[in-house]
Structure 1
Amino acid sequence: MAPVIRIDDEVYAALQDKAKAFEDTPNDVMRRWLGLQDGPSNSGKHRRGDLMPLIRSGALRAGSQLVWKRPRKGVVHTAEVTPDGCITIGGVEGKPFKSPSGAANALCGYQVNGWTQWARAADGVLLDKLR
C-alpha cells in the first residue's frame, strides 16, 4: 500500500492546474515536476493504462482494435489496446497513451473525453459503456 500524503486545497488546485486534462493524476503531475520517470506500477516497468480493468473483465483484450468515427471531419481514427491497458494510435509514433482521452486529445488537439469517443471496433460499443 502506498503512503498517504495530505495536502491542502490550494496545493491540490495547483496540481490540477498543471495536470493534463482527462489524463494525469496528482501523482503524475508531481512525478513530472520532480523529474521522475513513470512511477512504479503493477508491472514494475511502467504504469498500467486505464483500459487494464476492461482487459481484466474480458471486455477488451490486448490487440483489440478501437475506432473513433468523426463523420463531420470525414475521418475514422484507429487504435489498438496494448497488453498493459494503454492505447497506441495508428499512424502516430511515440509512447502509448495511458488513457482514451489522452489518445483522443493527441489526435484532435483539444480536450475531449475519449471514453465517450473511442469504441470497440468489433461491435461499435463505446468504451464508456464497457466500464
Structure 2
Amino acid sequence: MTAGSDAVPPHQHAAAVPNTAMPPDDPATHPAPSQDDEETALLRWEGLPADATVLVPSLGPTPMRVPDNAWAMLVLAVDILGEVDPDTAGQVALFAGSWLADQPPADLHEGDLVIRPLPPEQDLGRPDDNHVADVEVLLAYRGRWMPIGRWAGVDERWPWTLAPTVAAAMRLYIDAAETLSREAVLTSERPGSSPLRWAGTVLSDLMSADLVTYGEELVWERCAGEVRHTARLRIDGTFLLADGERVFATPSAAATALSGKHHHGWSAWRRTSDGRFLADLRAELRARRER
C-alpha cells in the first residue's frame, strides 16, 4: 500500500496548492521492486529456503552450467497446473532449487532429485556458446544416484521442458514410499513383529542418532508466515499432521500433501524447539558418519 499524495485535485489550478510531488500514477513514484526483492518475496510465499534459486517464474538468467563451486541443483519445489482451467492446464507455475556444493551420499538423500546443466556432449560447432546445455536429472534411490533422464542440446527454456518429468518422478517416489510405509505398518501388526520403528529411513536414522526425538514438533511456514503447518514425529519415524489423522512416511510427502505442490520436505520442515531445518540435521548426521 502506498502513502497518500498531496497532488493537486483534478481541475484545480496548480498555483492554488503548491505541490512538487509527482502524480501517483507516475512510474517513478512507485519504482518496480528489484529482482532480488521479487525472488525473496516469492520464496517466503512458497515457504522455500532463502538460498533457493527460482527457475520458473523466470526472475533472472537461466543457469546453463553447474557453477564451479557446486555439484548439482537440488530440486525444492515443482508446481504443474492442473485441469481446472483448460487454458492453463499443464503449465509450469513454479520450479525452484538450491545448489549443492558436493555430491552427498545417496543413502542420506533418499528420494531427492537433482538437476545438472552441463556443456553439450555433441559438438554444435559453437564451443563458446553457453546458451545450449545437456541437462541430466538424477534420483537418490536405494543408496545410488540413479539417472532419470538426460536432455541434449536444450536452450534457456530447459526448466519448462524438464519440470513435468521432475514432478512426475517426485510423485512416483512419494507414492512408492507411502505404499511401503503402509505395508510396514501392516507387517508390524502381525504377531511376533516389532511395531516400534519403520527401519531403513533417514528419519529413523536421525532418531537413532538422537538428532530428533519421538513426539517432537516440526513446523513449516508458508505464505510469508501467514500459514503455519505443524506435525509430530511418531515413534516409527513417520509424520503425524496437526489434524491428528493424516500420517506420512516422508517430510516431502507431508509438505506436498499440505501445499498441493511437489515440495522437498527436508528443506521445508524445521524443529519448533530451536528452528533447525531437517536438512541441517541430516547434514549433521552425515558429518558424524564421516568423522
Which aligned pairs between 1:58-97 and structure 2 lie closer than 5 A? 58-72=210-224, 74-91=226-243, 93-94=245-246, 96-97=247-248
**Distance in structure 2 (CA, Å) of the matches to 1:117 and 1:19:** 15
* Alpha-carbon RMSD: 3.4
Which of the residues 121, 126, 130 maps onto 2:272? 121
Residue 72 of structure 1: CA displacement? Answer: 2.2
Give the 4+ runs in structure 1 shifted more than 3 A: 43-50
The answer on whether the counterparts of 2:266 and 2:277 sit within 8 Å (CA) in structure 1 is: yes
**Distance in structure 2 (CA, Å) of the matches to 1:22 and 1:92:** 24
Consecutive unaligned residues of structure 1, counting only runs of 5 or more, are 1-8
TM-score norm. by structure 1 comes to: 0.67
**Distance in structure 1 (CA, Å) of the matches to 2:172 and 2:255:** 11
**Distance in structure 2 (CA, Å) of the matches to 1:129 and 1:108:** 22
SS at match of 2:228: strand
The percent identity for this pair of structures is: 31
- C-alpha spacing 1:110/1:92, structure 2 compared with 1 (3 Å): farther
SS at match of 2:236: coil
TM-score norm. by structure 2 comes to: 0.32
**Distance in structure 1 (CA, Å) of the matches to 2:257 and 2:244:** 9
**Distance in structure 1 (CA, Å) of the matches to 2:254 and 2:218:** 11
The answer on whether the counterparts of 1:82 and 1:88 sit within 8 Å (CA) in structure 2 is: yes
Which deviations, in whole Å up to 9, do the C-alpha atoms of 1:77-115 show, x marking residues without a partner? 100000011001102623x21100000011001100000
Which has the higher Rg, Structure 1 or Structure 2?
A: 2
- C-alpha spacing 1:123/1:58, structure 2 compared with 1 (3 Å): same
Which deviations, in whole Å up to 9, do the C-alpha atoms of 1:31-81 show, x marking residues without a partner? 78xxxx61557x655844541111001010100000001142611110000
Matched, 1:38 2:190: no
May I ask how many residue pairs the two structures share in their alignment? 110
Structure richer in strand, relative to its length: 2
The answer on whether the counterparts of 2:221 and 2:229 sit within 8 Å (CA) in structure 1 is: yes
The answer on whether the counterparts of 1:68 and 1:77 sit within 8 Å (CA) in structure 2 is: yes
**Distance in structure 2 (CA, Å) of the matches to 1:92 and 1:106:** 14
**Distance in structure 2 (CA, Å) of the matches to 1:105 and 1:47:** 21
Consecutive unaligned residues of structure 2, counting only runs of 5 or more, are 1-145, 150-167, 283-291
Matched, 1:101 2:101: no
Larger RCO (CA within 8 A; separation ≥ 6): 1
**Distance in structure 2 (CA, Å) of the matches to 1:118 and 1:18:** 21
**Distance in structure 2 (CA, Å) of the matches to 1:124 and 1:23:** 25
SS at match of 1:38: helix
**Distance in structure 2 (CA, Å) of the matches to 1:129 and 1:19:** 21
